Amino acid sequence: MNRLASKLLFILSILFLFSCSLSEPVEFYSPDAGFLQVFIKSDDLDTDINIFGVDYNISNQDSMDLLVYQGKAYDLDSNYAILYKNIKSWRQEEFVYNILDWSNNEGYRSFKIYESHVPPGNYNLITVGLIASVINVGPYRIPISLPQDVDGVRPIPVNFSISERGVSRINLSIKPFESMSRYQDTYVFDRMIEVESVEYFGQDMYDQIIMESDSLAL
């Protein structure tokens, strides 16, 4: 009887162990992506530049074309997601924004430079290609170059997370005039840029972005 009970117990144990492996492991679950938005806006406090003793305040006539390209978001393991202009973009492209677009009532205009699917997780860095070629201020038209041996792609450390079907928004602030220092006949563009804030939105915003994307051209 004891021998029979032992055999029965052994068979039940084997069956129990097998039954454990029948459920789906957690790591096999693939979550939906979230959205990462990146906005850039000139600092509203940086509105004038002195050229040869003359202060030139920002005006509607001024312009500075900032060329934005090659954005990426890096997670804690240095894996990266490529950032696109919008969620329907299928390749990275260059876009130009006049970061001196000024309104006396609202200050500098803010530009959404990326809106992209990104896997959920924790991130600590984005990189953005930022170069400019010319600034028009007052009566001047002055060429711009990056400092010698500086890469056009600028790393911007920022801790943020992406949640499933959530929206994370990074607001960047750039100082267009303070970033400039003169060398010979050009301004050297030091790209003083900082993360102004990181905002998080829920699925309502996620759905809204998808809805608005219907109007975007492929």
Pairing of strands 107-108, 102-103: antiparallel
Burial class (CB in 10 A: 0-12, 13-18, 19+), 86: middle
- Footprint on this chain of other proteins (rule: CB under 8 A): 51-52, 139-143, 182-187
Q: Which residue is it, tokens 């997670």?
A: 75
With respect to other proteins, which residue has the nearer C-beta, 187 or 206? 187
As given in the structure block, the two tokens for residue 65 are: 């074309």
The residue among 204, 122, 206, 120 whose CA lies nearest residue 163 is: 120
DSSP string over 47-60: -EEEETTEEEE--T
* 128 Cα distance to chain centroid: 8
Q: How far is the CB of 187 from other proteins (least distance, A)?
A: 8
With respect to other proteins, which residue has the nearer C-beta, 116 or 179? 179
Q: How far is the CB of 170 from other proteins (least distance, A)?
A: 33
With respect to other proteins, which residue has the nearer C-beta, 112 or 141? 141
With respect to other proteins, which residue has the nearer C-beta, 142 or 146? 142
Q: How far is the CB of 156 from other proteins (least distance, A)?
A: 28
Q: How far is the CB of 65 from other proteins (least distance, A)?
A: 15
